[in-house]
Structure 1
């Protein structure tokens, strides 16, 4: 198993979540018109679309996100229909977030099978890899 790859992917996700949280915190501060340290609640109808737009736009434009870029990871595909593949792999993130075992099973299976770069269900269905 390629533990270093798993750690890089995990750390990249953590950095992306921190980046999204920071942007949402700044948005909340600008919206409230105050820079005090009290917590601002961001409604889910704003946060969820922003969450998906962050990943989708970053991967479409740069083929990476802030977290992936730090660890020199990129979204790759066979070139055809990249736009739709990025949308599909990110829409499937919702299922993976709601039912985490769906995220872990394909990664463990592809990792134990000796795949150089284990893939999550969204990558398997969309035909993408993270390298």
Structure 2
């Protein structure tokens, strides 16, 4: 069961990253026509705010992201999920993508210590979990 959960969780994260990449690519093509063939990068000042807004807004409004909803996963907590918890939960998202072991190692460790609620680093800090 844990393997299935981990695969769902990682697949959901990959889908969310792909969605963000597609939207950023469309931004580059449609909105920011200043990007030339020599410089086809999305400015960090555009990417990072959108990246965090995607997760934070989705999780505040729907308690899930598109990737998570495909796998019927939702953000849960023993305490009320408030804006501050969602912010805390998502602070580490970018690092978890750049350094995947930051995402995977806490999931594995908490999967053994609390099998029903494996948590990533942001989940541990915010008191949330994905189920």
What is the TM-score with the length of structure 2 in the denominator? 0.85
- Residue 117 of structure 1 and its aligned partner are, at CA, apart by 2.8
Give yes or no for the alignment of 1:2 onto 2:2.
Answer: yes
* Alignment partners' CA distance in 1, 2:84 and 2:68: 20
Return the alpha-carbon distance in structure 2 between the equivalents of residues 95 and 3 of structure 1. 23
Q: Name 1:80's counterpart in structure 2.
A: 80
Residues 90-124 of structure 1, C-alpha deviation per residue, up to 9 Å, x if partnerless? 01324444554433332111112351231111101
Which residues in structure 2 correspond to 1:86-105 (within 5 Å)?
86-97=86-97, 99-105=99-105
Do the aligned partners of residues 23 and 56 (structure 1) sit closer, same or farther apart at CA in structure 2, a change above 3 Å counting? same
Q: Which residues in structure 2 correspond to 1:1-131 (within 5 Å)?
A: 2-32=2-32, 40-80=40-80, 82-97=82-97, 99-113=99-113, 115-131=115-131
1:100–1:52 distance in 2 versus 1, CA, 3 Å: same
Flag the structure with more relative contact order, 1 or 2, with Cα contacts below 8 A and sequence separation at least 6: 1
- Quick one: distance in 2 between partners of 1:44 and 1:121? 23
TM-score normalised by L of structure 1: 0.85
Q: Do the aligned partners of 1:8 and 1:71 also contact (CA within 8 Å) in 2?
A: yes
**Where in structure 2 are there 5+ consecutive unaligned residues?**
34-38
Shifted more, 84-93 versus 3-12: the winner is: 84-93
Partner Cα separation in structure 2 for residue 32 and residue 87 of structure 1? 28
Secondary structure, in 3 states, of the residue corresponding to 1:51?
helix
Q: 1:94 to 1:42 in 2, by over 3 A?
A: closer
SS of residue paired to 1:56:
helix
